[in-house]
Structure 1
Amino acid sequence: LHPERHLASGSTFKLYVLGAVAEHVRDSDASFDDLITVDTTRRAFPAPSGMATMAAGDTITVAETAALMISISDNMATDHLIDWVGRERVEAYMSRLHPEPALNLPFLRTIEMFRLKVGGDEALRTRYAEAGPDGRRAMLDEVNVLVPQLALAQFWSKPIEIDRIEWFMSPRAAATVMRDLRRLESIDGLAPVGDALRRNPGLDLGEGWASIAYKGGSEPGVLSMTWMLESDDGRWFTLSIGANSTEHLIDQDRFFTLAQWGVMLLKAHIANDR
């Protein structure tokens, strides 16, 4: 239903970051074995795992940073990768694949999203939401002065401007970037792309799959799940489901049930098509 409708996607946008990193490695002397130095100023909030537990000056490979970004949706890892590859490369990769790239310009770091939504400056947030891509980009210096407020984040239980400030993707756009990542992972030197995508299957999808690639996303009022699935007989499929509400939280259990029903329907289609 509505495969072309663009919705707030939460962390599903990180697929574009992964693709931009992969193409940079392919086209330059960079490597997934290169080391990234941890910058704790990119940490919006404390977290019990991932890069947020590392000290300033620690190092981690690009490959493992990408795996953290995708498998546990590590926001700090994401922002390190956006800065490592360059925002302009992420925007170029996204713009090539996305049918309406202006929706996602400028391509926000996660800490910038937190600064806008829980940074305490509602007037700036409103101005940003009402601006076009050029106007939003001109405001980034103002945005990056803000400090995400842990007290506000802890009570973030209602949607905040999810229809105007977010990373937007349709189910078809999510499927398109997944297919492109399949292309990239097959290139020599880019195997870490596939490793990152397959560490976390999202849900228990049962038997019948040779491989499961997955990325999900969420924030209050936003849920998104996208899979790239290889069946046991070697055929490939993508499945993407998303839901938004500007008024209230999404029923997560119901959403997960709908997603699993979607997988069951796909399995039935595969069985009937053999």
Structure 2
Amino acid sequence: MIRKVVLLVAVLGLGAPAVAQTPPAAATMPSDPLRTRAQALLGILGGGGDTAAEFDPTFLAQIPDAKIRTIAKQLSEAFGAPLAIESLTAATPQKASLTVRYARGSVAMTMTVEPSAAHRITGLLVTGTTSREASLDQIVATIGTLPGVAGFALARLGDGTPSVMQATKPDTDFAIGSAFKLAILSEAIRATNAGERRWDDLVTLDGAPLPGGFYTQQPAGTKVTLRELAQKMISVSDNSATDILLAALGRAKVEAMLPVIGWRHAARNRPLLGTLDVFKLKGIPGGALGKRWLALDEAGRRALLAKDIAATPLGAIDPRMFQRGVPVMLDIEWFASPADLVRTMDWIRRNTETGPGAEARAILGVNPGVGPAQAARWGYVGYKGGSEPGVIVMTLLLQSKAGAWYALAASWNDPAAAVDDARFVALVSRAVDLAASGR
């Protein structure tokens, strides 16, 4: 689903690759040009400065002043005024990692300057945000004050059921956006462990309509492995890969996994919708198809899914459905509680220790969902999130460097207004930091 938080990365970066868990480059003392540009950047983030003087023209041709000012405003709205350069660590004379201290949090970035005498900024990428809460108790208290409704659960994982350490509204069902893709991954794990499927099994595209994603324009007859589909579904939340994989594994089998992985209200998600199904239900002007869906029982919904939803053309979907930035029919979604998602991560952990299913653990760890500084504090970070206007969820599987396992799930829904994705990501990132230090 659409994620506004990506804007924080994409607008200030010439590209936004998934954050890999790789060791940082050796640090050196920052050069004078890096120090100068970092201080100038602080002024621009505060609403002043001269972008034409500080940024290379090639950068500004792709990301003009207006976009830089927009992202600076978003960061200030989320974290208050930028106060200081908290840290500046050079990887090379032209590239550095820096942290900007804001009134209510910190924003980590990487910055590159040109090697010529002007030393203007040629690259700037937001790599992470954190809030300033000093303890997990404070994180939970802050989450409890967010507008709409929000929930959180942090649990230690072991041989028995997850042991909850911190929580607020852990058993409340939330719309979870793309986090539902964890259920599809779970069925892939079960099927490969059982020998019913192999990660190398090929799926042949049949030319059926697909939601946006890598495979949308691929011709019929294209062959793709289950492994590749799962990787794209989890690491970049590719919707086309998701719907192909759901069809390949079987909707009924994924539905059957919901109670197995710990979703207490699995019936609320039957029949399980694909991403294109949701776009059709929400995106027909006036929500006519979605209103029909909401009035039906499970049998009626299955009939609607097989006939009218399947027959609705892509062209009937409002292309600006999520671009307006307002919540759209949050009662048509996938639903799970933070406790459900903690149990899901625990099931995945236990079923990826050995055997073919172990490959899914690597897939889940490609994009850790938090910044490099937070991820580096753990031995392993697996992640799946999801969002659209009014919805954000972050779900993490964490292993400490000493070998202990944890799961963290946080959700925020507001049917009345778009949620502040940047603020939420900062809170969860801070929770990941604090959990690593036992606070």
Say whether the fold is shared (TM-score over 0.5): yes
Aligned alpha-carbon RMSD (Å) = 1.8
Structure that is richer in strand per residue: 2
Aligned AA for 2:346? Answer: R
**Paired amino acid for 2:256:** A
Aligned to 1:87: 251
Please give the residue correspondences for 1:246-261 in structure 2 after superposition, counting only pairs within 5 Å: 246-261=415-430
Task: Pick the structure with more helix per residue.
Answer: 1
In structure 1, the partner of 2:274 is 109
Q: Which residue of 2 aligns with 1:158?
A: 326
Secondary structure of the residue aligned to 1:151 is coil
Q: Deviations over 1:122-149 (max 9, x none)?
A: 2221121233323322211211221242
Where structure 2 has 5 or more consecutive residues not aligned to the other structure, the ranges are: 1-167
Task: Compute the displacement of 1:154 (Å).
Answer: 6.1
C-alpha distance in 2 between matches for 1:69 and 1:6:
23
Q: Give the Cα–Cα distance (whole angstroms) in 1 for the partners of residues 216 and 312 of structure 2.
A: 19
Kindly indicate whether the alpha-carbon contact (under 8 Å) linking 2:321 and 2:328 is maintained by their aligned counterparts in 1: no
1:6 counterpart letter in structure 2? D
What is the CA–CA distance in structure 2 between the aligned matches of 1:103 and 1:254, rounded to whole Å?
29
State the partner residue of 2:233. 69
| Runs (5+) with no aligned partner, structure 1 | none
* Alpha-carbon separation, structure 1, partners of 2:379 and 2:433: 16
Residue 56 of structure 1 deviates from its aligned partner by 2.6
Residues 247 and 188 (structure 1 numbering): CA distance in 2 closer, same or farther, change over 3 Å?
A: same
Q: Percent identity?
A: 33
Please give the alpha-carbon distance, in whole angstroms, between the structure 2 residues aligned to 1:242 and 1:88: 26
Deviation at 1:195, TM superposition (A): 1.8
How many positions carry a matched residue from both structures?
266
Aligned-residue offset at 1:180: 0.8
Deviation at residue 206 of structure 1 after TM alignment: 4.3
CA separation in 2, counterparts of 1:206 and 1:30?
A: 32
Deviations 1:158-213 (A, max 9, x none): 21111x21000111101111111112212311222112101101111243211110
Is the 8 Å Cα contact of residues 382 and 398 (structure 2) preserved in structure 1? yes
Q: Which of 307, 311, 322 is equivalent to 1:145?
A: 311
Corresponding position of 1:133: 298
SS of the equivalent of 2:319 reads helix
Per-residue deviation at 1:263? 1.3
Shift of 1:73: 0.5
Greater Cα offset, 188-197 or 13-22: 188-197
Larger radius of gyration: 2
Q: Which residue of 1 aligns with 2:352?
A: 185
Aligned residue number for residue 20 of structure 1: 187
Q: What is the CA–CA distance in structure 2 between the aligned matches of 1:24 and 1:207, rounded to whole Å?
A: 32
Residue 125 of structure 1 aligns with an amino acid whose one-letter code is G
Check 1:143–1:156 CA distance in 2 against 1; reply closer, same or farther (3 A cut).
farther
- Distance in 1 of aligned mates of 2:174 and 2:299: 21
Pick which of 95-104 and 193-202 moved more.
Answer: 95-104
Higher relative contact order, structure no. (Cα contacts within 8 Å, ≥ 6 residues apart): 1
| Deviation (angstroms), 1:156 | 4.4
